[in-house]
Amino acid sequence: MSTVVKDAALQERCIETIRFLAVDGVQKANSGHPGMPMGAAAIAYTLFTRHLRYDPADPQWPNRDRFVLSAGHASMLLYSMLHLTGYDVTMDDLKAFRQWQSKTPGHPEYGHTPGVETTTGPLGQGVANAVGMALAERYLAATFGGDVMDHYTYVLAGDGCMMEGISGEAASFAGHQQLGKLILLYDDNHITIDGSTDLAFTEDVCKRYEAYGWHVQRVTDGNDVDAIDAAIAAAKNETGKPSIIAVRTHIGCGSPNKQDKAAAHGAPLGADEVKLTKEACEWPLEPAFYVPDDVREAFAAAARQAAASHAEWTKKYEAWRAADPDRAASWDDAWAGALPEGWDADLPIFTTEDKLATRAASGKVINAVAPHIPTLIGGSADLAPSNNTLIQGSDDQQAATPAGRNVRWGVRELAMAAMANGLSAHGGIRPYVATFFVFVDYMRPAMRLSALMDLPVIYVLTHDSIGVGEDGPTHQPVEHLAMLRATPGFVDLRPADANETVEAWKVALQTKDAPVGLMLTRQGLPTIDREKYAAADGVARGAYVLHDNAGGGVPDVILIASGSEVALALEAHERLVAEGVRSRLVNMASMRLFEQQDADYRESVLPASCSSRVAVEAGVTFGWERYVGDGGVVIGIDHFGASAPAGTLFEQFGFTADNVYARAKALLA
């Protein structure tokens, strides 16, 4: 696809229009980053008019090229392009930049503005998202065929993105994977907020990416449209490697006093400098947000040409559907985020004779559902045997086996999570990723964006407590549950046994609009007798009454536990019951899901009339106060763990049935 404007003067007006829409938008908002949009305007112009395949009338067309603005502070560049090419981003939207409830927030937000492919702003994460999108394209092409999935992924990144370690992690992975349809445009302007990159960043980025296994090109003049065009074309022809194009640009390009200065980065130019810049570029001072008629028509022509590729694809797609209706049905499920009929037919059922870690039960669930859900793919950050995440009988996801479903992420936790966000945001893929629970410390920024974007990424987080034992406090998560529970929209699930793990996976797979964390044990757990106690499907409501001895009345005491601590709370509960105490045991598998239930259900589980409550969880006590109140106690661990066998740690730190029983008796007394 290429729409080449023959008139050099018109082409320059198009680029200046992009620049000054950004300048005027930031100036009107009195907030924002004008410098990069001014410097990278020619890059955006070249990409949107000569290469990018898109359709403003259908922004979610599956085979569109993906464009990620990793340097999300340059959002006015993207909003200007979306407006000029006909997306539902109006002139009034541009004028409402960074204002309450506008379509043009300070950084691009997924699901909020048509044409925005992912939420960016935390630098470098957009690069990793783009790697995930490129991986999604390759897997879907290998699974469904090149007639229906065959697009490029472009990402525009700046010096800050190149400094952040996450981009290096993701680039290393992309180079190994030989993702030849991934093209990174590096806005190499040599300026950050502090000043020149010479202050802190003097490496040769191109040599680094060459070492990663990328195809590397340099464009020395960021305003040379033909040179940028030729570099993108060469990158598209390099099918065996991802490509980076370092384009030497000038931040604040055209500004007499702020070009190539940090002052152009994160603040409006100022009214006087806007006037000087427009005069220097021979641009009309009034009106602001000026778009010449011939410029508007030039961009409309480019958009029509881009949309024509959608029509061409539709013909191939319809022929493909007619020839292969079964695969077409699977395709429909994948893009709708729907589970195919019979997806749960082979889920395991565990008996009281089974004693196994919930991480092991999770592995059995993955392998039970994988044959039914062909777009469920994922893997571990170099811990697959410990996390139990391998899909048996499937190839690894590699360049030579692009239909493989086992993704070997390597020891790259943060990039792994961000690449999974890219897989999910691309569409058609249901990704899962895994590591030890304690390493969410590395993953947290991307997990937060999973929640912010409502992406249903599944996080398999094993070795979930001090039960890790001998590995010691560096590997024992204590504060991590509280951290995830504090994240808006993130669903926490800590199953108590193997059957609850099955139910937790069912919840995760049926959740379409939120990330889910499955916190799973290293150590074996007994399987609860469901003929005697409540069914495991209560997990779907977050918390449920596992057993009640109150005879329909108000309990004397309520014991509340999650995960591996449910078993010891159950033992204490049975001792209380044997003494005639009206004891209730509540399994708090997910605080998030419990809080989503109606008030009547929450009251039925934790009646306000019973203030004697004991909560037990091998983590910090923070957050449990809402469930035990002033009259209850929490058995937790508000300090780091220690190195010793798991049983020793549980005993030393008070996670025993004896201690739960004693604390309950003390409350009753």
d(CA 457, CA 431): 6
**C-alpha 262: how far from chain center:** 31
Nearest to 603 by CA among 585, 625, 627, 587: 627
DSSP-H helix ranges across 262-406:
271-280, 293-323, 325-336, 358-369, 384-387
Task: Map tokens 């937060």 to a residue.
Answer: 448
Given a contact cutoff of 8 angstroms between Cβ atoms, the answer to whether 509 and 551 are in contact is no
Strand partners, 187: 158, 247
Sequence-distant (6+) residues with CB within 8 A of 131 are: 170, 171, 173, 174, 179, 182, 242, 415, 419, 422
Given a contact cutoff of 8 angstroms between Cβ atoms, the answer to whether 280 and 274 are in contact is no
- Give the β-pairing of 557-561 and 583-588: parallel
d(CA 387, CA 503): 18
What letter would DSSP give residue 404? -
Given a contact cutoff of 8 angstroms between Cβ atoms, the answer to whether 492 and 458 are in contact is no
d(CA 348, CA 365): 7
Is the Cα torsion angle 639, 643, 647, 652 positive or negative in sign? negative
Sequence-distant (6+) residues with CB within 8 A of 297 are: none
Residue at 313: amino acid letter:
W
413 is catalytic: yes
Given a contact cutoff of 8 angstroms between Cβ atoms, the answer to whether 379 and 409 are in contact is yes
- Give the β-pairing of 195-196 and 66-69: unpaired
d(CA 253, CA 232): 22
Give DSSP secondary structure letters for 4-28.
----HHHHHHHHHHHHHHHHHHHHH
d(CA 109, CA 637): 38
Given a contact cutoff of 8 angstroms between Cβ atoms, the answer to whether 565 and 616 are in contact is yes
**C-alpha 408: how far from chain center:** 18
Sequence-distant (6+) residues with CB within 8 A of 552 are: none
Strand, helix or coil for residue 345: coil
d(CA 135, CA 397): 9
d(CA 15, CA 66): 21
> Any idea what the Cα angle at residue 270 is, between residues 265 and 272, rounded to 5°?
135
Task: Map tokens 């009338």 to a residue.
Answer: 57
Burial of 518 by CB count in 10 Å (0-12 exposed, 13-18 middle, 19+ buried)? Answer: buried
d(CA 76, CA 98): 10
Could you say which of 413, 500, 503, 617 is catalytic?
413
Joined together, the tokens standing for residue 92 give 């009034």
CB atoms within 10 A of CB 411: 12
Expressed in angstroms, the distance from the first to the final Cα of the chain is 79
Give DSSP secondary structure letters for 164-178.
SHHHHHHHHHHHHHT
CA-based max dimension of the chain: 92
Residue at 248: amino acid letter:
R
What letter would DSSP give residue 396? B
Catalytic annotation, residues: 413
